[in-house]
A and B are shown apart, each in its own frame.
Chain A
Amino acid sequence: MAQITYVEAIRSALEQEMRRDDRVLVMGEDVGPKGGVFGATAGLFQQFGEDRVIDTPLAEAAIVGVSIGCALAGLLPVAEIQFLDFIPPAMDQIINEAAKIRYRSNGDWGCPMVIRAPCGGGVHVHGALYHSQSLEALFAHVPGLKVVIPSTPTDAKGLLLSAIRDPDPVCFFEHKALYRSLKEEVPEEEYLVPIGQSRVARAGADLSCITYGATVHEAVAAADRLARDGIEVEVLDLRTVRPLDRESIVATARKTGKVLVCHEANLAVGVGAEVAAIVAEECFQQLDGPVMRLGGPEVPAIPFAESLAEVYCLGPDKIEAKLRQLAAY
């Protein structure tokens, strides 16, 4: 097995799937000869040609709209939105068209497509207001969509293969801080990581930290610090935020009785609120403390200056402090 980065894992999944099935197309801004602004489609244009690796105008709504049309007509498009921050113009196509096609036909036909987009920020990897947002909650709110946010190269590949083969539209968000910072052994052959299934990133019996995406690594780092004091934190990586893996959320909450939910995205009305509600509804008897949340503050995006960005982002220190607060109950 080769050691590859997160973005190489994405690229590898696209390449394997395009080789396996000629209905798979990739389209987006600069995905062609340039290989995408982060290199996720590097070499695909040269290998599969301009009919399957399509450079589009800078028009997000039509990138998604054209992808929907391709899906209706029997192809399996993977649309790349260059930054998740650029997706709002395509919201109508995603929410009003892609998400509703199966329901409006009473299940007779669907819209199998993937929308990939880099998300998130951080002190060293963000471009402030319009190149840093984590907008997953907007999509997770919509029945008909699936929302996947992998945290490791292995999951990125296995989940992307599942997303492309999924019969329904999947939003696939990749934290750009992970693209080149992580390297691990990833199977070269194809394998599927099921959508809607979380994984235990770190086992523990005292506290649960439920999270996803890049925050998983910060949570594990914080958990390691608590372990030095004999407090074992279980970190649950959701991997998919719609549909949520209710069973595993409930299982870890019942096991530890103390739950912290954290994500980089804005806290209010976020994915964490939904997870907290599930825990509150299902695990009331087993809870030994309040369900706690940690997330982005009430500002609309990550501010540019490092001193301000630090306030916005989580990081192991903040997660550790919150976990210790929870452990005290």
Chain B
Amino acid sequence: MPTNPKTNRTGSRPTSRRAVARQLPHGLTAQQCREMYHKMVQIRHFEDHAAEAYAQAKVGGFLHLYIGEEAVAVGAIAAAREDDHILGHYRDHGYALARGCDVQACMAELFGRETGICHGRGGSMHLADAKRHFWGGHAIVGSHIPIGAGMAYAMQYLEEPLVVLDFFGDGATGNGIFHEGLNMAALWNLPVVFICENNLYGMGATLAEESPVSDMMIKAEGYTMPAVQCDGMDVLSVYGAVQQAAEHCRSGKGPFFVEALTYRFRGHSMADPELYRDKEEVRRWRELDPIPRFGDFLVQHRISSQQELAQVNEEAEAEMLEAVRFADASPWPDPSTAARGVYANPIDPEAAQEALTLAADPAPAAS
């Protein structure tokens, strides 16, 4: 476990920013800390606006918000190299934004528009950006776990010094593919960090209902995989854990398991009445909100002032308002392109014909 900077402070108050920065945990710089705060705030505002757009029926389908869990994606991805590979589950907006994917393209994807990061093919659960080595949200629970192991195999084979961050929830650990993936990764010593976001619920099933153990890291033991538990509501704790894990992988020592103890403040999806948990529990976890918590840290360590934090929030709000405007004004994908991209070279004249027939019908108007 990384040390908590609050308990690590010396009695005397530091006098200059530089002096304080030297004491930051995990070798972090003040600038890196400011960036992590900025990313968490971006995600929070993005999600708030996504929820609003969903309520206005501008975003359809299923929407799973990352609110409350921001510290996990941000801390983990900040601790990796910017070209390390990332795979995640369907609650995936946080990974995309933490990796620096275009905010407007992400919002437009939720709106199903041509300007979306997958040109409206995927929607909320399937954001992906190969240029940034973000290989996507995956809607089938656990399906991306062996795929991450495979990418790690390729990194090892190609002698590239990159590692894979493979994010999943506690619910995925009850799935067979989780065990197959961990088994192979351990067997072949692959450079993959398995990051389990333990938010206590697999959809509406409590941890006790879905798993015989409450600490997911125990499941790594059977594969002789080193594992660490971190505070998923503390971006520094996550950063430290994943930094340690990534170093371990990069130095050829094989896979590493990180369990982040976290909580989603909102329901599983927008359609979730949350009958499986009580409001008092949610309230207690909200007190651990990772954003104000890290904001306090930045202020206490004189990395940012309250005014600067307020400005970060204002800028993120403006950025997301603009992203929503952009998404809302963007065109729908052209129906005549519906059959495009199934194969590298079009091979199915029937599908192409069908798409042309569809194109004769008017597209829904951009609202």
B239 contacts A by Cβ under 8 Å: no
* CB-based contact A246/B130 at 8 Å: no
Q: A33-83: which have CB < 8 Å to B?
A: 51, 54, 56-57, 59, 61-62, 64-75, 77
Q: Is the CB of B150 within 8 A of A106?
A: no
Docked-complex contact A65 and B344, CB < 8 angstroms: no
- B358 CB within 8 Å of chain A: no
In the complex, chain B residues whose CB is within 8 Å of the CB of A103: 121, 341-342
Asked whether, in the complex, the Cβ of A106 is within 8 Å of the Cβ of B341, the reply is yes
- Given that A57-B183, A72-B150, A73-B154 are known contacts, is A102 also in contact with B343, CB under 8 Å in the complex? yes
Q: Scoring B residues 182 to 205 as 1 if CB is less than 8 Å from chain A, else 0, what string do you get?
A: 011001100000000000000000
Residues of A within 8 A of B184 (CB): 56-57, 59, 62, 66
Determine whether the beta carbon of A75 is less than 8 Å from that of B154. Answer: yes
Residue of B nearest to A69 (CB): B150
With a cutoff of 8 Å between Cβ atoms, the chain B residues found around residue A74 in the complex are 154, 158
Q: Tell me whether A243 and B348 are in contact (CB under 8 A).
A: yes
Q: Does B249 contact A (CB under 8 A)?
A: no
Q: Are B85 and A73 in contact (CB under 8 A)?
A: yes
B148 (CB) vs chain A CBs: closest residue? A69
Which residues of chain A are within 8 angstroms of B177 by Cβ–Cβ distance?
A: 61-62, 65, 92-93
What distance in Å separates the Cβ of B126 from its nearest Cβ neighbour in chain A? 5
- The reply to whether the CB of A297 lies closer than 8 angstroms to some CB of chain B is no
Number of residues from B at the complex interface, CB < 8 A: 47
Known: A61-B176, A66-B150, A68-B150. A75 touches B347 (CB 8 A): no
Report yes or no: A109 in contact with B149, Cβ–Cβ below 8 A: no
Given contacts A59-B180, A62-B177, contact A67 B340 (CB under 8 A): no
A contacts with B, residue count (CB < 8 A): 44
User: Is the beta-carbon distance between A106 and B158 smaller than 8 angstroms?
Assistant: no
Q: Mark A192-206, 1 if CB is under 8 A from B, else 0.
A: 000010000000000
Once the chains are docked, how many angstroms separate the CA of A177 from the CA of B188? 35
Q: Can you list 29 residue pairs at the A/B interface with Cβ under 8 Å?
A: A61-B180, A62-B146, A62-B184, A65-B143, A66-B146, A66-B147, A66-B150, A66-B153, A66-B181, A68-B146, A69-B148, A70-B150, A71-B150, A72-B151, A73-B151, A73-B155, A75-B157, A77-B150, A93-B177, A96-B140, A97-B140, A97-B147, A106-B121, A107-B340, A110-B344, A143-B342, A166-B344, A168-B343, A246-B349
Q: Which residues on A are within 8 Å of B, measured CB to CB?
A: 25, 51, 54, 56-57, 59, 61-62, 64-75, 77, 89, 92-93, 96-97, 102-110, 143-144, 146, 166-168, 196, 243, 246
6 tightest Cβ-Cβ pairs between the two chains A and B: A69-B150, A65-B146, A107-B341, A73-B154, A62-B180, A66-B150
